[in-house]
Amino acid sequence: MEQERLVQIRRDLHKIPELGFQEKKTQAFLLQFIQELPQHSLHVKTWETGVLVFIDGTNPTQTIGYRADIDGLPITEETGYDFASVHEGRMHACGHDFHMTIALGALQRLAEDPPVQNVLFVFQPAEEGPGGALPMLQSEEFIAWKPDTIFALHVAPEQPVGAVAAREGLLFANTSELFIDFKGKGGHAAYPHLTHDMVVAASHFIVQAQSIVSRNVPPLEPAVLTVGKISGGFVQNVIAEHARIEGTLRSFTGDTMELMKNRIEKLASGMQESHECEISIDYGSNYYGVYNTPAFIPPFEQIVKDTGYSYVNCDPAMTGEDFGYMLKDIPGFMFWLGVDSPSGLHTSRLQPKEEALVVGVDVVEATIRNLLD
Ligand SMILES: CC(=O)N[C@@H](CCC[C@H](N)C(=O)O)C(=O)O
């Protein structure tokens, strides 16, 4: 019965993915669901497009926080689901529909049978960008209910259903977005000698930037430089006066991140000369690495096993998460929840198995009830 209800919630949310800070329908859905729960121990606030729900514990000494991110991605869905996104060009391709459903499932169980400690459920906007965690953390609404400990999960397509993975210390990388604009002299395709072609400049830049990780970053330091999007020009027979590349930088240390940015800037300054153009760089949002407080991991492993699921001690990943900002300020941790999808995160065919929803609810509920007792 509960499984059917969780599946329905997930499917309803899956249909309405919205980008960061535009999650109006998602927020309305969450509020409607929360309003239908037993209200005796609940307090609800909104912040921007997010929602905060505080549950009074029965004999509290502390507050434990649980955070779920709520935004979707600008990806066109290709799952073939009959409950696919009805928002064109938007998809829950990072599993945030699962994250919200699991939080609602755990919230329902705790609203019906409140735990000893106080609980704060955090439904946070804009994880994929521009980043909702930091401003939410600094908001009056959050500060008034600030928890002593906080945790969160992320779906893991490569792990089987029933597996929960975590580690002490660094789980996710530092990230920085990367937006670079190239501006030069465009013109007729037949007169290239009179122009400074920005498609050519951007292409050279992308190829040369590949040597930053392979030739500047020390070989034992993990680093990623990905260009995910390139755009520019007007039409096939006009030489482009503008091109733009959009990407992301990932590292485990602040020094490596600085080194990559430094090399990008040097490369850009050399290319301004060689391609006779103007290059401007914007690093967009930067996320702090997700660092799990080591002391919580052994008790969490025990809770997972006691709940009947398997625990995996995993390696750190180059994914990013603005939850890193919350963990910088509040002790806690993040874990991976196995959802066994053949297609990975940020793909148009991500198909997490819905049997994992109840696993998530069980683990989140058990952690809230037992971690601090
Ligand atoms: C878990 C996950 O996939 N998170 C995103 C976070 C995006 C951060 C930012 N927009 C960037 O691209 O640097 C990820 O891409 O890892």
Q: Is the pLDDT of residue 41 over 90?
A: yes
Phi, psi of 57, deg, nearest 5? -75, 165
Q: Given this model, what pLDDT does residue 238 score?
A: 98
Query: Is residue 184 domain-shared with residue 90, that is, in the same domain?
Result: no
Q: Given this model, what pLDDT does residue 22 score?
A: 98
Number of helices and strands (H, E) in the chain? Answer: 10, 17
DSSP assignment letter at 315: P
User: For the segment 99-152, what is each residue's pLDDT rounded down to a tens digit?
Assistant: 999 999 999 999 999 999 999 999 999 999 999 999 999 999 999 999 999 999
Q: Which residues are annotated as a binding site for Mn(2+)?
A: 94, 96, 128, 154, 346
Query: Is residue 38 domain-shared with residue 123, that is, in the same domain?
Result: yes
242: domain CATH number?
3.30.70.360
10 Å CB burial of residue 243 (0-12, 13-18, 19+) is buried
**Residue at token pair 């927020």:** 27
Q: Given this model, what pLDDT does residue 64 score?
A: 98
115: domain CATH number?
3.40.630.10
| Minimum-distance ligand 1 atom for the alpha carbon of 228 | 12
Provide the pLDDT confidence category of residue 1 given band limits of 50, 70 and 90.
Answer: confident
**What are the structure tokens assigned to 293, written together?**
């407080």
C-alpha span between 120 and 148 (Å, rounded):
10
The percent of residues in the chain predicted with pLDDT above 70, rounded, is 100
Task: Tell me which residue range forms the domain holding 234.
Answer: 174-286
Domain finish residue from 286, 303, 328: 286
Provide the pLDDT confidence category of residue 63 given band limits of 50, 70 and 90.
Answer: very high
Closest CA to 320 of 356, 284, 293, 296: 284
Q: Given this model, what pLDDT does residue 95 score?
A: 98
Query: Is residue 142 domain-shared with residue 15, that is, in the same domain?
Result: yes
Query: Is residue 334 domain-shared with residue 196, that is, in the same domain?
Result: no
Answer for the pair 237, 189: CB distance below 8 angstroms, yes or no: yes
Q: Which residues are annotated as a binding site?
A: 94, 96, 128, 154, 346
Mean pLDDT of 10-15: 98
Tell me the CA–centroid distance for residue 190 and ligand 1, in Å.
41
In three-state secondary structure terms, 33 is: helix
**Could you give the ipTM of this predicted complex?**
0.96
C-alpha span between 353 and 138 (Å, rounded):
35
Q: How far apart are the first and last CA of the chain?
A: 30
Q: Given this model, what pLDDT does residue 163 score?
A: 98
Q: Which helix (H) or strand (E) holds 2?
A: helix 2-14
User: For the chain, what is the mean pLDDT?
Assistant: 98
**Residue at token pair 């064109």:** 88
Q: Is the pLDDT of residue 165 over 80?
A: yes
- The catalytic residue positions are 69, 128
User: For the segment 213-254, what is each residue's pLDDT rounded down to a tens digit?
Assistant: 999 999 999 999 999 999 999 999 999 999 999 999 999 999
